[in-house]
């Protein structure tokens, strides 16, 4: 083995989107030497695609807003499966995180009195999303990027080198989190440009790698979203929770085929756009679920009045949480009332003057014009659901973002689980990145500072990591069993994986299909071990994909296994065979951990696989937070025992676990 480049850092942040950059800024401001490592160029992370805005209850447009209302909306959106403490911290701290961006140079759209403007969005009671047109993610990533540059300029003045205390390793991939006994020791990485391996040794590693959407065929996610952080955590021994909850954004482009899945921002509806079927009917009025009946308009006239007079009218049902709208669109298309290309119509052209559309939705106008020859100021868009976000992720301590069971490992943003429960509200992602990115950076720095002995990864671990990464170059079979068999094409394997997840573990799920998905995943795992590549290690996308396949297969199994287990419908998990929400499942988190043997043991029995699934009871919600809701509303979500405990003056207590032995009887 060649001499491996080893560097010493205090905090290593994996991922350079909103959460990773915010974590890095915090860790560096805490005085820790911080390395950021990302697969793309600096400033290209998927955060850049976020369109609508950052949810924060600043109350600039409606003074009635405050953190309690935001907390309430978030819990409702997640169907009360959210970790209440994360939802609380998020709602409390989001305004401060947004205002801070202004001090770093961000330029949000303004209200007439010069404050940050806020727009309406699905599930948010008041106009709450700070935004810049429909390119808010770009503003966020650029502001954080420029703040990092300004810290580097400080270091250059003080220490003579831009990279002295904060360095970005761009176009590099982490394949393993390294351990020293049970603690984090750093990250094993390769440089995409050269294929060279290197090691960043550090006591703290923050995972901020985003989501898993590239395991699905129709997705709004970029190639980077291969579940790397989810898989790195599993492989390091940390559990994932809530992996069955995958958000299908209701409005992705459906035509032409090459752009199928690309996001159409929810702002279109927030600003007045309406959904219609092929009969021209605003069908969302037929899909308001009971839990939301009192909160949404019952007629088009009332919904339309709400935009001007929100205090005396209820919001239109186009602004229901995303899971509800996605299911409704799915149902309309299935019933034969879809648009020519298998979606429904989203129309702003009859709702706003062309000039207003161009000003408020410039990138949507541009995107449809350039990619679909559609002028959204003159005609309706065709849209349909697209895989957008995973609510599940690394189980973390709400306050510190520390992963369970692996000291030194932290996670923030989409890769962390718990914050959004079973369904995330639009706008709550960018605020999540900032709130928990900062917390992860803060506590990762604190932890690194507290360690007196620096960790080291033993050479055997490094050898194993290198051998694993190089396997695709000798894919004709490392063992006698596979010798002589042709290598598998990683692109083909990826396409088959995407098709399987899309068809069998997609927006509507059935037991038999998910069982079939698990069998296909087992087959793909066996074949992925023989994924081979041509050429050499220098900037070789085939090789990179072959490595990423390991991660996609791991997280896909988590999704399928957890989805099969949860026999109810809730948020981003809809079962055709169990169509109702079941209160007894509210207290259950499904936990995924790496089964013994891990990804190196070729699975013989598809039913076993690589993932071990267990149930964990969710912590009881703090009484003062429960008091923010009407008891009638709580009764829709909470099990009887929880309601009884809430009514009892003795506080939260620890009621017996909501038994789920007979969940079938719940219909």
Partner 1 sequence: MSAQSDAYKAHFRVWRGDADGGGLEDFRVEVNDGEVVLDIIHRLQATQVPDLAVRWNCKAGKCGSCSAEINGRPRLMCMTRMSVFERDETVTVTPMRTFPVVRDLVTDVSFNYAKAREIPSFVPPPGLAPGEYRMQQEDVGRSQEFRKCIECFLCQDTCHVVRDHEENKTAFAGPRFLMRIAELDMHPLDAAPDTGLDRKRTAQENHGLGHCNITKCCTEVCPEHIRITDNALIPLKERSVDRKYDPLVWLGSKIRRRNRTD
Binding positions for partner 1, 494-513, rule CB under 8 A? 495
Q: Which is nearer to partner 1, 105 or 512 (CB)?
A: 105
Within residues 539-578, the interface with partner 1 by CB under 8 A covers 539-543
Question: Any contact of residue 150 with partner 1 (CB under 8 A)?
Answer: yes
Output the CA–CA distances (angstroms, integers) from residue 609 to 519, 557, 558, 585, in the order listed: 9, 8, 10, 25
Report angle CA 136, 138, 140 to the nearest 5 degrees. Answer: 70
Pick left, alpha or beta for residue 630 (phi over 0 → left; psi -120 to 50 → alpha; otherwise beta): beta
| Selected binder of partner 1 within 2, 3, 258, 604 (CB under 8 A) | 258
Is 366 a residue that touches partner 1 (CB under 8 A)?
yes
The rounded distance, in Å, linking the Cα atoms of 8 and 204 is: 11
Instruction: State in angstroms the smallest separation of the CB of 163 from partner 1.
Output: 10
Catalytic site includes residue 249: yes
Q: Which of 16, 48, 206, 430 binds partner 1 (CB under 8 A)?
A: 48
Catalytic residue among 22, 76, 269, 494: 269
Interface with partner 1 includes 266 (CB under 8 A)?
no
Binders of partner 1 in range 604-643 (CB under 8 A):
none
CB-nearer residue toward partner 1: 192 or 550: 192
- Cis-peptide, bond into residue 304, ω within 30° of zero: no
Q: Does 336 bind partner 1 (CB under 8 A)?
A: no
Q: Which candidate, 288, 311, 266, 322, places its Cα nearest to that of 126? A: 311
Q: Tell me which residues in 177-196 interact with partner 1 (CB under 8 A).
A: 193
The greatest distance separating any two alpha carbons of the chain, rounded to the nearest whole angstrom, comes to 74
Give the phi and the psi of residue 67 in degrees, each rounded to 5. -65, -30
Tokens of 265: 């921002």
Q: Does 486 bind partner 1 (CB under 8 A)?
A: no
Q: How far apart are CA 554 and CA 71, in angstroms?
A: 32
Q: Kindly state whether residue 222 participates in binding partner 1, applying the rule CB under 8 A.
A: yes
Of 142 and 482, CB closest to partner 1: 142
CB of 195 to partner 1, least distance (A): 10
Helical residues (DSSP H) of 160-242, grouped into ranges? 228-236
From the CB of 157, what's the least distance to partner 1, in Å?
11
| Smallest distance from partner 1 to CB 590, Å | 31
Residues numbered 113 to 142 that lie near partner 1 (CB under 8 A) are: 113-115, 117, 132-133, 135, 137-139, 142
- Which residues, 6 to 35, sit near partner 1 by CB under 8 A? none
Find out whether 395 and 240 touch, Cβ atoms under 8 Å: yes
Q: Is 350 in the site for partner 1 (CB under 8 A)?
A: no
Any contact of residue 363 with partner 1 (CB under 8 A)? Answer: yes
Closer CB to partner 1, 372 or 448, in the complex? 372
Binding to partner 1 (CB under 8 A) within 153-182 occurs at 153, 156, 162
CB of 614 to partner 1, least distance (A): 36
Copy the structure tokens of residue 546: 């072959």
Q: How far is the CB of 186 from partner 1 (least distance, A)?
A: 25
Q: Which of the following is catalytic: 28, 249, 314, 566?
A: 249
Among 182, 492, 614, 659, interactor with partner 1 by CB under 8 A: 492
269 included as an active-site residue:
yes
What is the per-residue burial (b if ≥16 Cβ within 10 Å, else e) of 459-496? eebbeebbebbebbbebebeeeebeeeebbbbeebbee
- Assess 365 for contact with partner 1 (CB under 8 A): no
Non-local CB neighbours of 488 within 8 Å, separated by 6+ positions:
475, 527, 528, 530, 531, 532
Hey, which residues does 198 pair with through a beta bridge?
Answer: 5, 189
- List the interface residues with partner 1, window 79-98 (CB under 8 A): 95-96
SS3 512: helix
CB-based contact 33:228 (threshold 8 Å): no
Nearest to partner 1 of 353, 651 (CB atom): 353
Residue 451's DSSP bridge partners are: none
Residue 637 burial (CB count, 10 A): 20
Catalytic residue IDs: 249, 269
């Amino acid at each position: 083995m060649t001499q491996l480049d080893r560097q010493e850092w205090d905090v290593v942040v994996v991922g350079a989107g909103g959460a990773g950059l915010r974590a890095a800024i915090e860790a560096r401001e805490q005085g820790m030497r911080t390395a950021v490592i990302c697969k793309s160029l600096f400033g290209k992370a998927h955060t850049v695609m976020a369109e609508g805005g950052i949810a924060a209850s600043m109350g600039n447009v409606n003074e009635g807003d405050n953190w309690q209302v935001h907390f309430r909306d978030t819990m409702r959106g997640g169907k009360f499966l959210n970790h209440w403490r994360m939802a609380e911290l998020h709602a409390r701290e989001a305004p401060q995180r947004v205002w801070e961006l202004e001090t770093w140079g961000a330029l949000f759209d303004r209200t007439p009195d010069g404050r940050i403007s806020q727009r309406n969005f699905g599930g948010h009671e008041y106009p709450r999303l700070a935004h810049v047109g429909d390119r808010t993610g770009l503003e966020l990533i650029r502001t954080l990027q420029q703040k990092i540059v300004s810290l580097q300029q400080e270091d250059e003045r003080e220490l003579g080198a831009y990279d002295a205390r904060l360095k970005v390793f761009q176009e590099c991939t982490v394949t393993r989190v390294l351990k020293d006994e049970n603690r984090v020791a750093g990250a094993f990485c390769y440089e995409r440009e050269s294929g060279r391996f290197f090691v960043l040794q550090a006591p703290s590693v923050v995972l901020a790698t985003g989501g898993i959407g590239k395991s699905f065929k129709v997705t709004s996610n970029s190639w980077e979203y291969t579940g790397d952080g989810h898989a790195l955590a599993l492989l390091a021994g940390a559990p994932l929770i809530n992996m069955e909850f995958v958000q299908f954004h209701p409005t992705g482009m459906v035509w032409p085929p090459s752009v199928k899945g690309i996001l159409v921002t929810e702002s279109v509806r927030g600003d007045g756009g309406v959904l219609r079927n092929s009969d021209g009917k605003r069908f969302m009025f037929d899909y308001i679920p009971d839990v939301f009946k009192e909160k949404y308009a019952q007629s088009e006239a009332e919904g339309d009045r709400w935009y001007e007079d929100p205090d005396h009218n209820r919001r239109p049902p186009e602004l229901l949480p995303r899971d509800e709208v996605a299911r409704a669109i799915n149902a309309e298309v299935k019933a034969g009332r879809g648009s020519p290309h298998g979606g429904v119509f989203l129309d702003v052209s009859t709702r706003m003057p062309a000039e207003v559309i161009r000003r408020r939705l410039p990138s949507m106008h541009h995107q449809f014009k350039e990619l679909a020859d559609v002028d959204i100021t003159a005609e309706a868009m065709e849209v349909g659901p697209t895989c957008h976000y995973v609510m599940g992720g690394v189980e973390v301590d709400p306050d510190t973002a520390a992963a369970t069971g692996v000291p030194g490992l932290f996670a923030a943003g989409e890769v962390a689980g718990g914050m959004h429960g079973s369904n995330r509200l639009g706008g709550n992602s960018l605020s999540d990145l900032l709130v928990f990115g900062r917390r992860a950076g803060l506590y990762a720095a604190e932890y690194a500072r507290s360690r007196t002995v620096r960790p080291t990864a033993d050479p055997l671990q490094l050898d194993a990591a290198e051998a694993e990464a190089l396997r695709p170059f000798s894919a004709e079979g490392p063992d006698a069993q596979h010798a002589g068999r042709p290598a598998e094409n990683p692109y083909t394997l990826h396409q088959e994986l995407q098709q399987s997840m899309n068809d069998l573990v997609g927006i509507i799920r059935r037991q038999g299909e998910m069982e079939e998905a698990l069998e296909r995943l087992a087959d793909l795992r066996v074949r992925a071990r023989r994924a081979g590549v041509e050429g050499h290690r220098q900037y070789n996308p085939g090789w990179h994909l072959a490595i990423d396949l390991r991660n996609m297969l791991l997280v896909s199994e988590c999704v399928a296994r957890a989805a099969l287990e949860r026999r109810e419908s809730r948020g981003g998990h809809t079962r055709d065979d169990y169509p109702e929400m079941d209160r007894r499942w509210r207290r259950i988190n499904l936990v995924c951990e790496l089964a013994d043997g891990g990804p190196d043991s070729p699975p013989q029995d598809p039913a076993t696989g690589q993932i071990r699934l267990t149930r964990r009871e969710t912590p009881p919600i703090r009484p003062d937070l429960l008091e923010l809701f009407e008891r009638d509303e709580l009764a829709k979500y909470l099990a009887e025992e929880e309601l009884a405990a809430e009514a009892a003056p003795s506080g939260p207590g620890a009621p017996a676990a909501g038994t789920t032995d007979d969940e079938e009887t719940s219909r």
